[in-house]
């Protein structure tokens, strides 16, 4: 009986320690995020136009690269007399909206959504890059060829949390043998999240630069160079 009571007491103590650890980690993460996230948003706002242009050129480069690859494959499969066709369908642009106000609203929604899902180098995790690229590709297509209503619907779809972009995407498996497995896995996930925040370049900038917003100059230089190179790669021969 005493052994049973001792085991229960020990289990309760371990459970309490795990819960305290979780509370402590969440508190530390929250404190860092309260400083870091507004700073990262300020950086995005400062280079918003560059982020959008870089994303558009990146998508264009991938489309052109895919088209060239498909054209080469088509030419190998068909006779020389056949007209090589690419599997890439060029979406015809729809007529521009007559009302200037509608066009301005489309631009506002597009830019807002683009900045929200943009797979920049200093916020999203690596495994989210491909998903964010797919979303921005669809966003660009709707902005260029769709109606205001279609863009409004996709904008709402993104901001209602339907894109599956999250900062923590750690699956936790239950363990029948260890009753505290869930809490232990939660601690592991929180420790990884904390380590990711502490090791991020923007956190280093925020905590080590005398004037952190001067980092904008470095970002501008980076994106200017990247945009210049992308323009050269996507330039079509006349």
Give one DSSP letter per residue of 25-91, joined into a string: HHHHHHHHHHHHHHHHHHHHHHTHHHHHHHHHHHHHHHHHHHHHHHHHHHHHHS-TTSPP--SPPPP
Is 39 within the bounds of a domain? Answer: yes
- Break the chain down into helix, strand, coil percent, rounded to 5: 75, 0, 25
Query: Tens digit of pLDDT for each residue in 75-105?
Result: 777 755 554 444 444 444 444 435 677 888 8
| Domain-located, residue 150 | yes
Structure-block tokens of residue 46: 């400062």
Cβ atoms of 194 and 25 within 8 Å: the answer is yes
Choose between 45 and 123: higher pLDDT: 45
From residue 114, how far is each of 50, 134, 219, 231 by CA, in Å? 12, 12, 18, 20
138 pLDDT exceeds 60?
yes
Q: Is residue 103 part of a domain?
A: yes
Report which of residues 219 and 121 the model is more confident about. 219
Q: Which residues contact 66 (CB under 8 A, 6 or more apart)?
A: 88
**Predicted local confidence at residue 93, as pLDDT:** 44
Structural domain harbouring 211: 24-81+90-232
Token couple for 35? 């400083």
Q: What is the pLDDT of residue 195?
A: 95
Q: What is the pLDDT of residue 216?
A: 96
Q: In the structure encoding, which two tokens stand for residue 61, read together?
A: 């480069």
What is the CB-side half-sphere exposure of residue 77 using CA atoms within 13 A? 9
Q: With contact defined as beta carbons under 8 Å apart, do 29 and 197 qualify? A: yes
pLDDT at residue 70 in the model: 87
What is the per-residue pLDDT across 163-217, written as a single tens digit (0 to 9) for each?
Answer: 555 433 333 333 333 556 778 888 999 999 999 999 999 999 999 999 999 999 9
Cβ-contact 51, 40 below 8 angstroms: no
Reported as a single tens digit per residue, the pLDDT across 140-159 is 888 888 888 888 888 887 87
Closest among 54, 48, 61 to 223, alpha carbons compared: 54
**Predicted pLDDT of residue 11:** 64
Query: Which residue has better confidence, 11 or 225?
Result: 225
Assign 48 a pLDDT band (cuts: 50, 70, 90): very high
pTM above threshold 0.75: no
Answer for the pair 93, 144: CB distance below 8 angstroms, yes or no. yes
Q: How far apart are CA 131 and CA 135, in angstroms?
A: 6
What's the rounded mean pLDDT across residues 132-146?
Answer: 84
> CA 162, 164, 168, 171 torsion: positive or negative?
positive
Give the model's pLDDT for residue 226. 94
* pLDDT value of residue 90: 43
Residues in the chain: 238
Q: What pLDDT, on the 0 to 100 scale, is given for residue 175?
A: 35
For residue 11, is it within any domain? no
pLDDT grade, residue 160 (50/70/90)?
confident
Has residue 6 been placed in a domain? no
Total count of domains within the chain: 1
For residue 10, tell me if it sits in a domain.
Answer: no
Please check the confidence at residue 22 and state whether its pLDDT lies above 60. yes
- The per-residue pLDDT of the chain, averaged, comes to 78
Tell me if 43 sits within 8 A of 202, measured CB to CB: yes
Asked if the structure places residue 13 within a domain, the reply is no
User: Is the model's pLDDT at 7 over the cut of 70?
Assistant: no
Q: Residue 123: which pLDDT band, with cuts at 50, 70 and 90?
A: low
Judged against a pLDDT cut of 70, whether residue 25 lies above it is answered with yes
């Amino acid at each position: 009986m005493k052994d049973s009571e001792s085991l229960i007491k020990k289990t309760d103590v371990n459970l309490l320690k795990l819960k305290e650890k979780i509370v402590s980690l969440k508190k530390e993460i929250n404190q860092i995020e309260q400083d870091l996230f507004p700073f990262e948003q300020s950086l995005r706002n400062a280079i918003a136009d560059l982020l959008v242009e870089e994303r558009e050129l990146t998508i264009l480069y991938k489309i052109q690269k895919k088209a060239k690859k498909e054209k080469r494959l088509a030419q190998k499969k068909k006779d020389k007399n056949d007209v090589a066709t690419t599997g890439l369908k060029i979406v015809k642009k729809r007529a521009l909206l007559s009302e200037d106000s509608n066009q301005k609203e489309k631009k506002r929604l597009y830019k807002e959504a683009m900045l929200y899902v943009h797979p920049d180098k200093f916020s999203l995790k690596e495994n989210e890059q491909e998903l964010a690229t797919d979303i921005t590709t669809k966003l660009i297509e709707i902005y260029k060829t769709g109606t205001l209503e279609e863009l409004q619907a996709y904008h709402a779809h993104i901001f209602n949390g339907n894109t599956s972009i999250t900062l923590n995407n750690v699956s936790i498996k239950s363990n029948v043998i260890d009753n505290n497995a869930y809490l232990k896995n939660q601690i592991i996930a929180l420790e990884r999240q904390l380590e990711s925040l502490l090791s991020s370049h923007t956190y280093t900038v925020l905590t080590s630069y005398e004037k952190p917003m001067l980092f904008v100059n470095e970002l501008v230089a980076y994106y200017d160079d990247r945009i210049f190179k992308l323009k050269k790669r996507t330039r079509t021969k006349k």
